[in-house]
Structure 1
Amino acid sequence: MKPKSLKKYKKALLWIFGSVGLISVLLSGIIYTSVKISNSLYQDKLISGQNQPLAPVNRLIGFQTLAKFRIEGLDFELKKKIYSSTVESVELVNRSAVLVDDSVLENHDGELTSVQSDPQVPAPVKILAKEQTGHTSDFVSGYSDDNKYYQSPYYYNDRVYMPILDSPTIYLKNERTSSDIGLNNYQGWIAVGHARVNSRVSVFNYRATDELLAKFNNLPDRLIFTMSIDLYQANPAMINETLKEYSPDFVILSNADSQTMKQLVFPSSVKKLTIKSNILDRFDFSLVNSEIQELELYTPNLTEYNPLALNPKTHLIFDADYSTRFLSINLYGAQLTNQQALAALEDVFVHRYYERALQGSFVDGYISSLVLSDTGITSLNNLVIKNINPNYDSYIMSVKYHSNDSGQIELLKTTAW
């Protein structure tokens, strides 16, 4: 072979081997990234208050999406970090996702999601309470295939003022049946001494039975003075005068609307409030200055929760037959500082995580819509969301500002840490 031909042959071999090597590297990269978990690269957050950014630490991170949120058209996700390692590449990717094999997932009640239990007459299932409060025992549910809608270890009614006995007619314990709700019956209590104040207001007492006293020996009150009020076309000023004069322990309101609720003043004697109304559709009234310990809402059209409306000591009671799950959080344009905004969202995602009404469509879930319009909120940094599954990490909400306007939120997301 001539020297020139040999030289060309060597060049061809080098080109072929070089191409094969490059293809191998590319295939390795494709194989490495073609796994069930799509990993993303995230840059560590800048320390608040620093003018100069820290040197980025590039990491390959895999996330499992737990819940998605939408605030004023901006999407962000609550994620569980399931993989993390340092990488050489400086390329940063903005989004990550995880492919989940539903056939092997288990829900929090220990049942395979792909398995449907017999819908005929399921046997009662005992479910240990996630947290014991002294007011709530373990749960017993006869509908194990529907626990995602009803009771689970991640949801309980903390009846701190007026505990009840378990209903003998339903599997769901620590709750009331639809007939009990309609008739204002509470298992373990007897209504006595009925009297009418006027055409809108009646009063009576709930007296604890011996059976209830045997189970709960530290009741705040054994005789609960109760006032039932029909608010249809009522004069709020006159209702307030009646409330002040009689100072009831428990108030039951019918036909309430938000305009009337804004004008009512509940005396410090009121420890329990029940609202029954098909016309109440806004939570823009406040009970924060009240001493209400238990709040029952049988309001099918009230699907927005206002974390600014309640005293932290107020417990939301949920009865599956009539209570409504909140689907969104609405601050109704309240002008808040960033710290106040964080406190409002912590009320939902931290302090009230055990209350079924604030767990969205499924037990152990999250409300998936937040309305912060006209609130002046510009940052949600450092809001730690406590996940109620102890096997998960904690999470933090972070914010990305618009490149041309540092006061405008462009993206909200959550980062596991």
Structure 2
Amino acid sequence: MRTQVAIIGAGPAGLLLSHLLRLAGVESVVLESRSREHCEHRIRAGVLEQGTVDTLNEAGLGARMQREGLVHHGIELLFERKRHRIDLTALTGGRAITVYGQHEVVCDMIAAAVEHQQQLYFDVSEVSLHDLTSDKPWIQFTHDGAVQRIDCDYVAGCDGFHGVARESIPADALQNFERIYPYAWLGILAHAAPTCDELVYAHHERGFALFSMRSPEVTRLYLQCRPDEDLAQWPDERIWAELHARFENDEGWLPAVGDITQKGVTPMRSFVCEPMQYGRLYLAGDAAHIVPPTGAKGMNLAVADVRMLSKALAARYREGRDDLLAAYSATCLERVWRAEHFSYFMTNMLHPSFDDTPFINRLKMAELRYVAHSDAASRMLAENYVGLPFRD
């Protein structure tokens, strides 16, 4: 098999890259170790920055998102029993966020890939990358019991934190930066109509809580918990009691109670590898960086990566330019580190620490008050939350 760009991973990064390359007239093949059904039903967060929404629309992938996505013009910070609204749209010159599940984005991309007859292989195994520092890299994999080979010009590693792409780079060629947080999120999906039109981030002495939604009928909620939390110790009744305790406020607002259809514990990690390229291998999305979910940056960073990579590859094939490919890592890392800092800021501010001194928790509360009442601080949060403009 021969193609111009071989893409490892059929998550949002790999699928979007394939679409953007097709629009630029560049051939690609996508390899995915999981089944199509798994990819289309794997539930992940779905807060899309303005730039992500614009990118999907420009690529012709946003029709269903425009119909079913929930556009939010603000978020709320809840602390000391008071709700404080951050007006994202007013503070950012009209920008907003859209709540639309990551699996829905993946479904839309796979449907479009099938429609346009893009080469997409699910359920592949034994993937190995070869000759990455040459001008003729190749990939070997097994599909339907047969060993196959792809010869290509470039490889895009979009296969996540545990994927084969980053592991194919010699350890001495990468520098890894990581922070493991001392808490996690217990997340649930519930069949309950959202009782608020916007996301609510709650700081409470018992721990952080987040109110979100997936649709007009489904609520998504999170509780701060231990990384080693035993879900067996969290029956539905305890979850709802804890949520209501952490969302307590003077206005009497609370999430609606409904049947819980999914529970899970999400660990909190920050991770960045530098550089994001090695020879003719380019890393994108979770293969190169992880952010804690508090800042809602994970999928948005992946979109920013492949937006840049698609432009760099298009310039290479259309104009014979290599400068954008050479600058790929440095260009992406500037945005990555800004998002890492914002995610750290949100995570640190909103999660009370039970291991630190009361002094540290008082500092966090002081920062919350400042963000809620200062126009300058509110604008900083809003600009980062809706996503900084792309520097095209």
Query: Which of the five TM-score ranges fits, normalised by the shorter chain?
Result: under 0.3
Higher RCO by CA contacts (8 Å cutoff, separation 6 or greater) = 2
- TM-score, normalised on structure 2? 0.22
Flag the structure with larger Rg.
Answer: 1
Q: Whose helix fraction is larger, Structure 1's or Structure 2's?
A: 2
- TM-score, normalised on structure 1? 0.21
